[in-house]
Structure 1
Amino acid sequence: MTPPAPASPATAGLLRASLTLLAGGAAAQAMPLMLGPLLTRLYSPSEFGTFHVFAAVAANLAVVGCGRYEFALPLARSDGEAHALRRLALGILLIVTALCLPIGLIWAVQLDASWPLALPLAVASAGLLSLATLWATRQQRFKALAAGRMAQHTGTTLAQLLGGWLHWGVHGLIAGGVAAALTAVALLRLPLGQARSAELTAAPSWRDVARQHRHFPLLNTPHAFASALQDTLAFALIATTLGPAAAGFWGLAMRYLKAPATLIGGAVSQALYPKLAAAGEVPLGGAVSLEARQAVRRVMLILSALALPLVALLWALGAWLFEWFFGNAWHEAGLLAQALALYIGVHFVAAPLAVVTMAWNAQAWALRLALVGQVVFVGALALGAHWGGLIGAGWAVSLAMLAYFGYYFWALATWPITPTSTATKAAS
């Protein structure tokens, strides 16, 4: 019997990077998940619902805070180009943060509340964290990325616990997230000032890199904004039609159910993106190498095998687990978890694959498909909520998104490959 071929250096490197990030992510997620029951006993479902509406709006603005130029960092061909991209992203973030000042003020006046005034700080901290994460990803400082994730997730929960004990209400939930994000930025060592002269030798201007990577703001920004808008509309729709407490149930369920995707998906995508980018530049909307497509197929198969037990567990024990873990007040969140199980399963597989279309220069296709997905998601949520309340909304979203992501997986798995790759495959 022929022994199995050893893993290629690229595959082994991807595995090591993924495991490093996974270990850091697991540690980062463990404490927040364990301390979650304390939060649900310090904050009411209505306070959580209000916070989730604020967080969704802040995240919606933060994803476009740097113009998405930070995602071009792994593609930069020199340190000078990377520093030009960093300066460009920081400048855009400063403008977006300034624009958030009047938005937060108008929101605060309309609601007669003070917590919306934190919107600029929340957007700025999230934008800086995204830029710092991609900066460290470019440099493949995976241990720093793991430490940053630990500070972000664990720090958020610890700070929110402190806010709960001090009876800060919604303000405590918001302050915890901002403080943790800024701590993670510091750990990731994002340079905020001028680069050293040696690093700027023959560096392009920010105008040059803005033109060179313009497909990120032109194509990826609408994509990212639409994806974040899905959560914003979901929370706004639920809060206005079913009440803040229902938004709290939805937010808690999504936070815990998406934790595995955040943990494993984040680690895989941060390791996969540089590897796909290093495989060579792909023509706009063009074919990719056979090796690149096979790598994506392997990732999908592995993630699918991990997702199936998660869906089965939620169907069998979701309602009981939520009530036991979070308290009797959160029983409806457990029923919602059962209804959302299918959606969580396919999202678990899809989450790390967002970087694939970036590396394959297929962002225009991804944007068109994502816009369809946003309409499908929000439409299913609205119809389900109208017919069956919060639980009906969960089942409607699961069924609709199962069909949507099924097409997405099939498209990536059958993506056209280059003629050279086709010939190589035939020869083998």
Structure 2
Amino acid sequence: MKHKLRRQILTLIQGTVIAQLLPIIIAPILTRIYTPEQFGILAIYMAVISVLTPIVNARYELAISLPKQERNALALYVLTIKINLVVTGIATLIVLIFKNNIIQIFSLEDGVWILLLPIGLFLTGVINSFTYINNRMERFNYLAKSKVYQASSMVFMQLGLGILKFGSFGLVIGYIVGQCLAILNLNRKLSINQKITEEKIDKELILKVSKEYNEFPKYAMITHSMESFSAQTPSFFLTKFFGAATAGYYSLTNRTVNMPLSLVGKAVGDVFLSNASKVYREYGECKRIYVKTAKVLAMIPIIPFIILFIWGEELFGIVFGDEWKIAGTYMKILIPAIYLQFIANPLSHMFIIAKKIKLDLVIQIIIFILSISAFLVGNFIFKSTEVSLSLFSSVLCLKYLIFIIISFNLAKGNESGYGNNK
């Protein structure tokens, strides 16, 4: 189990690292082609997609790893696709009817990106469905390759459209093209339609699994929507209070530091979910896997973070241009939160494994309120971007410390009062 876990983690990390090298290499070129305001538009687009992502599949995709019978897992997959189609249809109508209102909410002049929201939302839902079915089948090689295809196609498209002066539209189109390439790879040799036909997945079974795992739309969907909104609070409130350019500076920090680490963390989390859920089902605890995974997560970012904390502003100015030096300041403010996030997020799968989604919801509601409060206080009392981000970073540190403590107790199962022992 130990060597298998390490091999699976390394497979996904290798794919993720390769996937992120190219965007980081290309980023200094993109920052000289696109303006901070244009990056701010992309940040808002991705933030809206992120907040709506938990709704698009009603979070049923998280349950795909849980059933003992393959047939039930396939039924959950079909359910996620059907829900995705309905939600995307509703989103399309909302965008078409309320386009101007949405533009006014964000105080933006460029509204073309809004018309592309339903497309990005649908593709995100499909990627999530494919990711979890691939995870269940332990197709970690395909998961790793999909990250490479998505990242590389995205940056090359953004680079080409940037040279052709497509502006923020080019950044968004590049993002969508990357999603399409990821889906094509995740579906390769999966034969999902054949499996669905062979297992005779019918409406009755789909209805059955929807009821059996209804805690996911009831609790996980709301929980993760709040979590996503809390995480995307900077993009929304920086744009509203301080302008799209400020959101663009923040987005560069997110693009070059937080996103690569998040993808590495997600790769580790995918393996952790697959292995820990199996062990937990059998033994009622998964403490050893939890501790091993936590140690790996704690060690990975230490050296890069020390370098960035000491020389962050200078490095951002040299690499991305003097105009982007302020992004290095934002990055230094957020480093403690990013580090704890890297450790906590993959391990927070314990809330799903131990079926403690209600507990997760309570925590997310509190953090949701505190995150919004951080920016309201930072803007209306201090009128400062740096203070707003500092308060937000403190809220995130509190959140991830709580997650680490509780998820560890859940992993202990029989040893604590938290576990879902069977």
TM-score of the pair, normalised by structure 1: 0.88
Given that 2:347 and 2:407 are in contact with CA atoms closer than 8 Å, whether structure 1 keeps it comes out as: no
Structure 2 distance, partners of 1:303, 1:124, is 31
Q: Which residue of 2 aligns with 1:263?
A: 263
Match of 2:165 in 1: 167
Match of 2:389 in 1: 394
Amino acid at match of 2:112: S
- 2:234·2:389 contact (CA, 8 Å) conserved in 1? no
Residues 166-211 of structure 1: per-residue CA shift (max 9 Å, x gap): 2111111111111111111111116675745432289961100101
Give the residue type in structure 2 aligned to 1:395.
Answer: S
2:56 aligned counterpart, secondary structure: coil
Report the CA distance shift for 1:109/1:407 in structure 2 as closer, same or farther (over 3 A).
Answer: closer
Shift in Å at residue 405 of structure 1? Answer: 2.1
CA contact (8 A) 2:60 2:217 kept: yes
Which residue number corresponds to residue 122 of structure 1? Answer: 120
Give the AA of the match of 2:166. W
Matched, 1:403 2:394: no
Give the drift of 1:334.
0.8
Write the mapping of 1:81-92 to structure 2, written as runs, cut at 5 A: 81-92=72-83
Specify whether residues 132 and 214 from structure 1 end up closer, same or farther in structure 2 by C-alpha distance, changes over 3 A only. same
Identify unmatched segments of 5+ residues in structure 1: 1-9, 423-428
- Alpha-carbon separation, structure 2, partners of 1:155 and 1:368: 39
Q: Distance in 2 between matches of 1:237 and 1:71?
A: 29
- Superposed CA RMSD in Å reads 2.3
Q: How many residues align?
A: 406
Contact 1:53 1:236 in 2 (8 A): yes
Task: Mark the CA change 1:294 to 1:194 in structure 2 (over 3 Å): closer, same or farther.
Answer: closer
Residue 288 (structure 1) shift:
4.2
The amino acid across from 2:136 in the alignment is R
Aligned to 1:350: 344
Residue equivalent to 1:75? 66
User: For structure 2, which runs of at least 5 residues remain unmatched after alignment?
Assistant: 104-108, 417-422
TM-score by length of 2: 0.90
Which residue is equivalent to 2:25? 34
Residue 56 to residue 388, structure 1, CA distance change in 2 (3 Å): same
In structure 2, C-alpha distance between the alignment counterparts of 1:171 and 1:121, rounded to whole Å: 14
The answer to whether the 8 Å contact 2:16/2:144 transfers is yes
Work out which of the residue numbers 374, 379, 390 in structure 1 matches 2:368.
374
1:62 counterpart = 2:53 = yes
Partner residue, 1:426 = none
TM superposition shift of 1:221 = 0.6
Corresponding residue number in structure 2 for 1:109? 100
- Equivalent AA in structure 1 for residue 276 of structure 2: L
Question: Residue 18 of structure 1 aligns with which residue?
Answer: 9
Q: CA separation in 2, counterparts of 1:408 and 1:82?
A: 28
Bigger drift between 57-66 and 11-20 goes to 57-66
Q: Does 1:413 align with 2:408?
A: yes
Asked whether the equivalents of residues 380 and 393 of structure 1 are also in contact (C-alpha less than 8 Å), the reply is yes
Question: For 1:315 and 1:374, how far apart are their aligned partners in 2?
Answer: 27
The structural deviation recorded for 1:418 is 4.8
Distance 1:132 1:389 in 2: 42
CA shift in 2, pair 1:232/1:412, >3 Å: closer
Deviations 1:344-375 (A, max 9, x none): 11111112123121112111111211222222
Residues 128-172 of structure 1, C-alpha deviations (whole Å, 9 max, x = no match): 111111111011001111111111122211111122112111111
Q: Which moved more, 1:128-137 or 1:366-375?
A: 366-375
**Counterpart-to-counterpart distance in 2, 1:347 and 1:42:** 31
Change (3 A) 1:217 1:196: closer
1:388 Cα deviation after fit: 5.7
Confirm or deny: 8 A CA contact 1:80 1:202 kept in the other structure. Answer: no
Distance 1:22 1:308 in 2: 16
Give the partner amino acid of 1:75: L
